[in-house]
Structure 1
Amino acid sequence: MRIRVLLVTLCFGRCAANWEQWWTYDGISGPDFWGLLNPDWHLCSRGRAQSPIDLDPQQLLFDPKLRPFIMNPVKVSGTLLNTGHDIVLKLNDTLSPKINITGGPLAYQYTLSEVHIHYGNHDELGSEHTIAGKRFPAEIQFLGYNAELHSNLSEAIELRESSGLVAISVLLQLGNTSHSEFRHITSQLHKITYRDQETPLEDFEIERLLPSTEEYMTYSGSLSQPGCVESVRWIVMNKALQVSKQQLYLLRKLMQGDQDNPKAPLWNNVRPLQALNNRVVYTNIDFKRSKDSRCPTMQKNMYYTANPRNFQDDLTMY
């Protein structure tokens, strides 16, 4: 361990100007050392409200005041980019209408800015969040900023205000058929095989990537990439999105490096689980109301249980 830390320290001087590209998901530039690569990333090592986490069904706290959140259905355009860390769809902020997110656990209006995709090299690894310790093949994360307090995503990240960001997590599950809206992304992946390659994406209906449920789990956390700022209200949907084996295969063909130096495959871009540290995970799933169609559907034949005690009035939500 001493040798590994020394290598990171020596490299910091040489790589500081390029730290945005230098970090990875393994080795001496991986998650264990993100907090050493740049002083601004200290929360990656010392933060107490970090993401992702395991969502333990036995620890969910039912909140009857939680209502469904709303993502307004509009067609948007953007740029699909291979960052060398993950796949990102960056929405065109200069065009209207924008995709707004309101309601649920949110006290402000948020504007969707980016969509990130994390995935693994096999079907038992890929999602960052887990359900009862179970990982899923992939996870889509919708990242938005507080439009009432900030003008864009970068400003919200930089200022690190407690209600600055929202992230909606949708876990992906292997199904028998391809998902039609997700196909808009996977059909373009051959154009961004290598790092920094990008391609435009037009007339995309992002809200169709949300599963058909109003149930979710929510907690206060962080970005799951450097610098791990702890200003994110996470909303994890209580139903997985069904995608095909071919769609997962297309994701797994992407590379971390450029065309001259492809490096390793892009898969397994997953940060390890973080400690809950006494945080509360709330849910709007009323387990006592029904035990059939209202049951969580993250995994077939799994029936979650939750703490029926309502949330404390002195615990505030974003």
Structure 2
Amino acid sequence: MQIIDGKKIRDEILAKIKREVATLPFTPVFCDVLVGEDPASVQYVQMKARTAEKVGIHFHKAIFPAPISTSDLVKEIKTLNKVPNMCGIIIQLPLPGSIDKKAVLDSVEPDLDVDCLGAVASEKFFNDYNSQTDLGYPAALACLALLDSLRLDLKGKIIVLLGQGDLVGKPTAALLRSRGIPYQPITNETENKEYFLQRADIIISAIGKAKYITGNMIKTGAILIDAGTSEDVSAQLGDRPSIVGDVDLKSVKNVASYVSPVPGGVGPVTVAMLLQNVLKVAKAKTSPLAPLQASLERGSQRRGEVN
């Protein structure tokens, strides 16, 4: 079994982003809105800030106290939308329970919605996605980037997509369809799951069930892209549970041909894809007729919206 090194792939993508950012006539700005002081969220935001700065993208801090109201947070985000050279805004999840998540996500301007979690950007992605110009769900893009790194001929390959969640499963399915790649979705309602898994040449899993996929469930030579994350309380890292994926690495090591590990697989590449979205927005801002803006406007016109 060979490990698909997400950190190596991330570094290659980031190096390309850095080169392209250096050619822009302005410094792009990226913002990750944080509400509260959840330690894991704070750490994740800091990591994205460091990564953005490394590739020449300025990170704009936006930290708000947990007691903030939905209306006040929406006002703050609308102000961030107008920051000069802003090229991407994301909302660090989870938000406090008192906040209307949908209202907050929808307050990000669609052409700055580099996570694709607002209604307009999400609809655009699922209905009219162009990989060259449009924003995509970073985790789903990461799954396919890992698969692409193997440089396989996918013709005739049986691909199984395990899970249909909003952040990974459904967007990954949409990306596969956009490429004309057939796949077999597996959900909780799917009968004979074992049959499909045993036949699969490639399994992309995003169900968040710790070590669910074992060696006896897959065929020899299967490729496993693991986008699931769970806490494993049986394996502590200090005073915190370790993070594991959907794949039991020890169990599949003598069966699978390639596996993306958790951590170190989809996660690092997701951050790179997020910043690639920021770069797309920045490139669009260099021309008023840029494809990204025109594409978003076409989507709004089809819905009868007035900008």
TM-score range, shorter chain: under 0.3
The TM-score normalised by the length of structure 2 is 0.26
Greater percentage in strand: 1
The TM-score normalised by the length of structure 1 is 0.26
Structure with bigger RCO (C-alpha 8 Å, 6+ apart): 1
